[in-house]
Amino acid sequence: MYKKRIEKLIQQLENDQIDLIAINAGQSLAYFTGLHFHESERPAVLLVGKGKSPAFIFPEFEHEKADNAAFEIAPFSYSENPSTWGDAFEKALRYFKGHHSMIGVEPTAMRFLEINLLQLASDKIRFASAAHIFSNLRMVKDDEEINSIRQAIQIAQTALLNTIPLIKTGITEQEIANELVINLLRNGSEPELPFAPIIASGPNSANPHAVPGSRKLREGDLVLIDWGARKDGYISDITRTFALGRVDDELKEIYKTVKGANETARRILPSNYISEKIDFAARDVIQKAGYGVFFTHRTGHGIGLEAHEEPYIAAENSTRIMPGMTFTIEPGIYLPGRGGVRIEDNIVASDDGLITLTSLDRELRIL
């Protein structure tokens, strides 16, 4: 599997007139090699080019981990002394015999640390964005990847159901978040969660990316919960909004509107498989209800090894949705000072229509 991914990557290089691709520690490195190196003060860079096995630059004390690559790589390790790092980069570039004037990088992942070491190793290097190469290869998931996402969804849904009995007046957002994290791990999520859970109550729920704090839940609050799990490296990302006791009529109305927007976008036909058309389908429902100004973010984003990746379900994005692409649909309405609603589901596109992978009830649940 990994070797085929590398082969496809090399084909893309030939199409784009890029000599090498440089991939630093993170999710793309894991995707192409099966190696799990985290970003740190020590660089770890995979160089991929035509006609040679990929070269891997890494700390020498991690030789055992590097030996677990899914295919043959040329190792270039360095010691703990930073003065030796440049030598490893120079040797790796010489390995490609000077065919490295244009290096493609993932612009949202590659750091100044690695770019500077590559530049110091050769004054002939120029850099180009290879964002389209990474997104084109990673956007369409195979059956194994989709199955991992399904498992991550099941873990997340079970964890929330285990947490709901705790949610009542007087408990803090942070206490709910702590319990939810415990339940995610207990139900089988990998320790590295896709993101820290969002627990936002009352007026805090009007902040789409609120951070759980010391606010205690009160009667009449909306409680927005955005959480996810990770399985085999792949993630889920779900949001549900609850009511704590009786909420006022307008908050019920915005819930009904968001639910309708979510359902409309999830029912879109394959003939409209364009990112911006899915975004418009959800946005139009909210606009017609008079709350368009309070829907302040895009309708969704891709999910996979990362919580946010291509494709982005957003206005003015003409990306064609292909079968196998996985993403969220998450319309929301946020009334400042009062409360907000978001309903987020995880989706996989098929030839016959969008398949909703999440199964938690979308009716307004009174806790």
Q: What is the mean pLDDT of residues 114-122?
A: 94
Q: What is the DSSP letter of 245?
A: S
**What average pLDDT does the chain have?**
95
pLDDT tens-digit series, residues 143-193: 999 999 999 999 999 999 999 999 999 999 999 999 999 999 999 999 999
Strand partners, 345: 329
Give me the DSSP letters along 275-307: HHHHHHHHHHHHHHTT-GGG--S-SEEE-SSSS
Q: Are strands 238-243 and 365-366 parallel, antiparallel or unpaired?
A: parallel
Residue 98 has pLDDT above 80, yes or no: no
CA–CA gap between residue 216 and residue 239 (Å, rounded): 20
Structure tokens at 30: 């894991």
pLDDT at residue 124, rounded to an integer = 86
Q: What is the mean pLDDT of residues 98-102?
A: 77
Give me the DSSP letters along 147-187: HHHHHHHHHHHHHHHHHGGG--TT-BHHHHHHHHHHHHHHT
Predicted TM-score of the model (pTM): 0.93
- Cβ atoms of 307 and 194 closer than 8 Å: yes
CA–CA gap between residue 177 and residue 39 (Å, rounded): 26
pLDDT at residue 1, rounded to an integer = 83
pLDDT tens-digit series, residues 288-327: 999 999 999 999 999 999 999 999 999 999 999 999 999 9
pLDDT tens-digit series, residues 38-72: 899 999 999 999 889 999 999 999 998 888 888 88
pLDDT tens-digit series, residues 203-237: 999 999 999 999 999 999 999 999 999 999 999 99
The three-class DSSP label of residue 43 is coil
Q: What are phi and psi of 25, to 5 degrees?
A: -55, 140
